[in-house]
Chains A and B, each alone.
Chain A
């Protein structure tokens, strides 16, 4: 029962969604839509589950005085503060003048954008340390990278109009050919894995991992 029920649920949900795609008959579509509406809610609940798990792990680390525990308090305070403000403001939580919006702009937006902007520095450092041109393959990669880096910004056109034109050609012909090859290969892979998942043939199936539609 513990293994068969999940297997049947996956099989039925998968088959209904596949049939619903090809057969738009109202009887099938009703089931198709109903199942999909349920899953939208379930996926929402998985996010809440994820955060509940984060809360649990961090509470444990704080109570056990584990490594970096004072920082975990900062994490918990941030989480709880955001939730209190959001839930007390009700459906007006996203109004431009709300406390939740203020916290979004002040904390979430500022830190998220800055975290990712750090990568600009690291990519420059990696360009110096790790980008070695020793083979023909690496040379091709480097030439394409150079043409793109210079050709996709206004300075490329200022140096010579040939550079952006070369960048366009590179993107539209050789790059496009390879990317399309990757797309087709990946599509076949996704389809095969999808069928295996629905039929319960994937090894990860039934384990406690997975989900979230990721």
Chain B
């Protein structure tokens, strides 16, 4: 029993240290546990973009900020790469105040790789306050809701915005979402109302909430968390940050599952002792 008593009194900082090491070591050493297998949900995301005709313009909403950058950024970058590789123009925006610089970075990196020009092949409309109200108003007029891009250039002078009036001008909405406002609101305000096909890459915390949307056909594809991002990176054959993180992710998950079992074992003893 003394072993279990000691376990019950375990300083939580030992657990912190173990978590730290399980993440740092696989990333630093670069061990390889198992390949990433794309799921049907990630394939749905991929296929929806594959179906978009080259030369059309897609709305890419990056509704997240640095607090979830590890989960959302890899899928955002992968989506921008996939769209640009297929010669699809991008109208980017962010309904999180912390988002516009990340949208900028993603579009710039992907644009550099595929020789795309800002203003001609893509634009970052930046941030707008108002959450789902902005989505609703974009259905009436995008140029009125976003009169300028994030550089302050009027949208009437931006080639990629020519002819873009409302959702009718997009064949697909790609949403990278960290919560509110995000995927749920886009589905409510845009998919339901304007019947615009939509795919979403979301944080793992929020992913389970969107399975009913996926099953009902309101979403054509769904990437959940860094693992979802990794699956999509494999599909577009550009393994990057998310794929590299999967070994550490696997080990940390195993450890937390083990902690649940160990905790139950340790405190099972306590219950028995108390009863005595």
Residues of A within 8 A of B (CB): 29, 32-33, 36-37, 39-40, 43-44, 47, 90-92, 94-96, 101, 104-105, 108-110, 112-113, 115-117, 120-121, 123-125, 127-133, 142, 145-146, 149-150, 152-158, 164, 168, 171-172, 175-176, 179-180, 183, 213
Is B130 in the interface zone, CB < 8 Å from A? Answer: yes
A-B contact pairs, 26 of them (CB 8 A): A33-B144, A36-B136, A44-B129, A47-B129, A90-B152, A91-B152, A94-B100, A112-B67, A113-B69, A120-B23, A121-B19, A124-B19, A124-B255, A129-B12, A131-B264, A132-B267, A142-B260, A146-B257, A149-B254, A154-B33, A155-B33, A172-B215, A175-B208, A176-B211, A179-B208, A213-B133
Q: Which B residues touch A105, using CB under 8 A?
A: 101
Chain A: minimal CB distance from B101 (Å): 5
Chain B: minimal CB distance from A174 (Å): 11
Is B246 in the interface zone, CB < 8 Å from A? Answer: yes
- The one of A108, A121, A128, A213 in contact with B263, judged by C-beta atoms closer than 8 angstroms, is A128
- Docked pose: A94 CA to B153 CA in angstroms: 13
Q: Which residue of A lies closest to B193 (CB)?
A: A21
- The one of B34, B129, B151, B257 in contact with A157, judged by C-beta atoms closer than 8 angstroms, is B34
A158 touches B33 (CB 8 A): yes
A40 touches B129 (CB 8 A): yes
Q: Which A residues touch B260, using CB under 8 A?
A: 127-128, 131, 133, 142, 145-146
Q: Which A residues touch B254, using CB under 8 A?
A: 149-150, 155
- Docked pose: A213 CA to B33 CA in angstroms: 45
Report the contact-size class of chain B (Cβ under 8 Å from the partner): 35 or more
Is B5 in the interface zone, CB < 8 Å from A? Answer: no
- Docked pose: A131 CA to B40 CA in angstroms: 31
Dominant secondary structure at the A interface = helix
Dominant secondary structure at the B interface = helix
- A-B pairs under 8 A by CB, number: 175
Q: Which residue of A lies closest to B65 (CB)?
A: A112
- Docked pose: A175 CA to B208 CA in angstroms: 8
- Docked pose: A116 CA to B263 CA in angstroms: 24
Q: Which B residues touch A37, using CB under 8 A?
A: 137, 144-145
Known contacts A43-B131, A154-B33, A157-B37; decide if A176 and B256 are in contact (CB<8 Å). Answer: no
| B236-266 contacts to A (CB < 8 Å) | 246-247, 249-257, 259-260, 262-264, 266
- Docked pose: A172 CA to B210 CA in angstroms: 11
Q: Other than A127-B263, A128-B12, A171-B211, give 18 A-B pairs with Cβ distance below 8 A.
A: A33-B137, A33-B141, A33-B144, A44-B130, A91-B152, A94-B104, A96-B108, A112-B67, A113-B70, A124-B16, A125-B12, A150-B254, A152-B225, A154-B34, A154-B36, A155-B254, A158-B33, A164-B39
